[in-house]
DNA sequence: AACAAGATTAGAATAATTCTAATGTTAGGG
DNA sequence: CCCTAACATTAGAATTATTCTAATCTTGTT
C-alpha cells in the first residue's frame, strides 16, 4: 500500500480503534472496516445485507456471518440500536440517542424524528415491579 | 353430528358468517373455525404458529399455510392488525381499535394500552404530500 | 516469538414465511 | 337441486433472514 493510503487510514484507524476499545472490543480488521462504513458517514438505518453489500463494494474482506456478529456485538455494546418494524428484516440504527421514527411503508425507509419533536404528556405506569427500558414511537406514512 | 352440536354451531356460524360476508370474504369452513378461535374468546395477540396449534387442539382441519392466508386476509380486511416487534415472529392483534402496547422483553408477551392512556401533545407533521396511516407506541419493559 | 483468548469464516442448519400447482369448496344461475 | 366458475385449501417445496458450528486466523500479552 502507498504512503498516502497508510497515513489516511492510520488516522481513521486510531479514532475507530479508540471507539472500539472504549467498549472493550478488539479493533479487528473487519470490525474497523464495518465501523468505518457504519459511523464514518451518516448512514443511519441499515440492514445486515445492505452493510454486507457496502463492505463488498468497498473491497472489505468480510463474511455475512461476521456482519451479523458485528452488528449484534455493536448493538450489545450500545453503539447501535436494532429496530424491528418489518418482519422480513431488521434495521440497525447508528443513532443511539433517544429518538423516534417515520416509517415509509412503500419504500421501507426509516427517518429519524428528534426526541423533542414528540411530547407525551400522559403515559401509563409500568406494570408492577418492572421498569421501562425504552419507548418507541413509529409514525407510519404511506410513501 | 348431533342435533345439539348442529344447533349450537349454527348460531355461531351465522354470526361469524355475517362478519366474514360483511368484508366480502366467503365464510368457508376453515375461515369460520379460525375466526371463531380468534374472535370467539378475548385472545388478543397471537402468532401464526399459536393459532395453528389452537386449531389442531380444537380438532379443526386446517393447514399452517391456510392459517397464514387467513391471518393476512383478515388483516387486509381490517379484522386484524399485524404487529412486528420481534424479528423472529409476527403477532396478529384482534384489537383493531387505536391502541398501544407494552412489550415484555423477556417473555415476548404483548399487552394492550388503551389509546387514551397515552397523550401526545406534540407530533411532527407528516413529510410533504404523505399522510399518516398509523402511530404505534411500544413501551418495552424488562419482564 | 509463543500462547491463549477472542474473532472470523464458510457453510450447514434453523425457523418463519411464501409460493406452487393440484384438489376441494362455495355462491349463484339455470 | 345441479353446474360451473371463482375462490380457497392443501402439502410440501422453496425462499429468506438469521443463527450455529467447528475449523482456522488474529490479536493482545508475556
Ligand atoms: Mn439520524
Ligand atoms: Mn424470518
Ligand atoms: Zn433512527
Ligand atoms: Zn393490542
d(CA A102, CA A92): 15
Residues of chain A in contact with residue B71, where contact means CB-CB under 8 angstroms, are: none
Evaluate whether B110 touches B45 at the Cβ level (below 8 Å): yes
How many beta-carbon contacts under 8 Å exist across A and B?
111
Of the two residues B9 and B97, the one the predictor is more confident about is B97
Count CA within 13 A, CB hemisphere, residue B64.
5
Give which of B84, B91, B125 to mutate to test A binding, by max A Cβ within 10 Å. Answer: B84
State the distance from the centre of ligand 1 to the C-alpha of A44, rounded, in angstroms. Answer: 5
Percentage, residues of chain B above pLDDT 90: 78
Q: Which tens digit of pLDDT belongs to each residue from A37-96?
A: 999 887 789 999 999 999 999 999 999 999 999 999 999 999 999 999 988 899 999 999
Q: Do A124 and B111 touch (CB under 8 A)?
A: no
Sign of CA dihedral A91, A109, A43, B141: negative
Residue A32, SS3 per DSSP: helix
Q: Which tens digit of pLDDT belongs to each residue from A117-139?
A: 999 999 999 999 999 999 999 99
Q: Which tens digit of pLDDT belongs to each residue from B48-79?
A: 999 999 999 999 999 999 999 999 999 999 99
- Parallel, antiparallel, or unpaired: how do β-strands A99-104 and A132-141 relate? parallel
Q: Tell me the residues surrounding ligand 4 (ion) with CB < 5 Å.
A: B 93, 95, 112
Does the pLDDT at position B122 exceed 90? yes
- Residue B3: which pLDDT band, with cuts at 50, 70 and 90? very low
pTM: 0.88
Does the pLDDT at position B1 exceed 70? no
Of the two residues B115 and B44, the one the predictor is more confident about is B115
Count CA within 13 A, CB hemisphere, residue B103.
18
pLDDT at residue B2, as a whole number: 35
Amino acid at each position: 500500500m502507498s504512503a498516502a493510503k497508510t497515513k489516511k487510514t492510520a488516522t481513521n484507524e486510531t479514532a475507530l480503534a479508540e471507539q472500539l476499545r472504549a467498549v472493550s472490543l478488539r479493533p479487528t480488521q473487519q470490525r474497523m472496516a464495518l465501523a468505518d462504513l457504519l459511523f464514518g458517514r451518516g448512514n443511519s438505518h441499515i440492514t445486515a445485507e445492505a452493510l454486507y453489500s457496502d463492505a463488498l463494494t468497498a473491497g472489505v474482506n468480510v463474511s455475512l456471518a461476521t456482519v451479523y456478529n458485528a452488528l449484534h456485538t455493536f448493538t450489545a455494546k450500545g453503539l447501535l440500536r436494532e429496530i424491528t418494524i418489518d418482519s422480513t428484516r431488521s434495521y440497525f440504527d447508528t443513532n443511539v440517542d433517544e429518538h423516534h421514527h417515520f416509517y415509509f411503508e412503500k419504500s421501507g425507509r426509516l427517518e429519524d424524528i428528534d426526541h423533542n419533536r414528540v411530547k407525551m404528556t400522559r403515559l401509563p405506569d409500568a406494570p408492577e415491579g418492572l421498569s421501562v427500558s425504552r419507548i418507541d414511537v413509529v409514525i407510519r406514512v404511506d410513501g
